[in-house]
Amino acid sequence: MQQLPMDSLRAFVSVYELQSFTAAGQQLGRSQPAISLQLQRLEEMLGVRLYARTGGRIQLTTAGAELLDTARAMLNLNDQIIARLTEPELSGRVRLGLTSEFASKLLPQVLGQFAQGYPNVSLEVTSALSRQLVANADDFDVIIALTEQGGQDAAQLVNPMQWLELRQEPLVWVGNTESQLLPSPLPLVVAPEGCIYRRRALRALRQTGIASRITYTNTDFSGLTAAIESGLGITVLAQSTLPSHLEKLHRTADGTALPELGEVGVMLSNRAAENSAAQQLAQFIQERI
């Protein structure tokens, strides 16, 4: 009897969630060719195609969509069993601070798995801009924040030596299905002053001579995406946090190419050396992001 390999299922889920074979490889500690080979073998075993690329996004086929929830459940059960049988019983409180888009899009599944594996640990999650998290670092045990590409603003971090770079995240222009028709000046939906995405967008547009104006400001990720869906403008997001109901943009209404935005560093700081639950959460996140 054939058995589904857990590492291939984890690669399948990671590629879809991160929308990148390379990012999935970084998350799982494998090369991009190794991830591609795992998925090829999984498709050969099942006799179906799992992915289809549409408009630059990695979409699931009907078979892939059917497999996704089952794969997540199997991986979750696998991780729970390992956590419960190999780790001592953990308890206590962990104060986690992270940026709004990662709180909404990337981490709910990871935190859900952690909560199921360690039911006696209480998680207190706060989402805010990276600079606010850093400014209030003493209020948190674990922080996930963003820095400029290459750690150019690492000096803004409290004791940069305590920070670990989880990965580099590409930034993309994001809008709804009608955003390609938006007139000039380009309407922008952004977070308040101090947001890396806002700063990167305004700088890139200014350097390329594309006129823009800020039409809507909100600190909350869901508020920003709702405004974009309603047609108030476009924004910049980390590629892995792109909602399924929005799409990546490449050009303005007159055909002008939108400028490249580069990458940001996703950084983790574990500030509670004596808190074993915080140590475990930091490791748990590091292994999955």
DSSP string, 239-286: GGG--TTSEEE-B-TTSPBPPP--EEEEEEEE--TT-HHHHHHHHHHH
Tell me if residue 15 falls in helix, strand or coil: helix
| Domains of the chain, earliest start first | 6-86 (1.10.10.10), 94-289 (3.40.190.290)
Rounded CA separation 224/105 (Å): 13
Contact predicate 256/204, CB 8 Å: no
Q: How confident is the model at residue 122 (pLDDT cuts 50, 70, 90)?
A: very high
Q: How confident is the model at residue 155 (pLDDT cuts 50, 70, 90)?
A: very low
- Kindly tell me if the per-residue pLDDT of 152 is higher than 50: no
- For residue 185, cis peptide bond before it (omega within 30 degrees of 0): yes
| Lowest-confidence region among 14-18, 42-46, 62-66, 172-176 | 14-18
Residue with tokens 């869906």: 229
Rounded CA separation 136/197 (Å): 20
Predicted confidence at residue 275, as pLDDT, reads 87
Of all residues in the chain, the percent with pLDDT exceeding 70 is 94
Closest of 204, 211, 173 to residue 189, by C-alpha: 173
| 88 backbone dihedrals φ, ψ, rounded to 5° | -65, 160
Q: Give me the mean pLDDT over the 114-129 stretch.
A: 89
Closest of 217, 157, 27 to residue 145, by C-alpha: 157
- Kindly tell me if the per-residue pLDDT of 213 is higher than 50: yes
Predicted confidence at residue 151, as pLDDT, reads 47
Q: How confident is the model at residue 149 (pLDDT cuts 50, 70, 90)?
A: low
Q: How confident is the model at residue 160 (pLDDT cuts 50, 70, 90)?
A: low
pTM: 0.68
Closest of 288, 246, 239, 243 to residue 263, by C-alpha: 239
Tell me if residue 130 falls in helix, strand or coil: helix
Show the CA angle centred on residue 18, arms to residues 16 and 20, nearest 5°: 85
Predicted confidence at residue 42, as pLDDT, reads 93
- Kindly tell me if the per-residue pLDDT of 119 is higher than 80: yes
